[in-house]
Amino acid sequence: MLTKIAHIGVAVSNLQEALAFYKAVGIEPSHIEDVPSQKVKVAFITIGDVHIELLEPSSPESPIAGFLDKRGQGMHHIAYEVRDIHTVLKTLKDKGIKLINETPVEGAHEMMVAFVHPKSASGVLTELCQHK
User: For Zn ion, which stretch binds (CB under 5 A), given 4-12, 14-22, 25-33, 83-91?
Assistant: 4-12
* Residues in 71-110 that interact with Zn ion by CB under 5 A: 79
Q: How many residues bind Zn ion (CB under 5 A)?
A: 4
- Which of 45, 53, 57, 64 binds Zn ion (CB under 5 A)? It is 53
Q: Which is nearer to Zn ion, 24 or 130 (by Cβ)?
A: 130
Contacts made by residues 44-52, CB under 8 angstroms, sequence distance 24+: 44/7, 44/108, 44/109, 45/19, 50/5, 50/7, 50/8, 51/6, 51/7, 51/8, 52/7, 52/8, 52/10
112 binds Zn ion, rule: CB under 5 A: no
Q: Phi and psi dihedrals of 68, rounded to 5?
A: -65, -40
Residues at the site binding Zn ion, with contacts judged by CB under 5 A? 9, 53, 79, 127
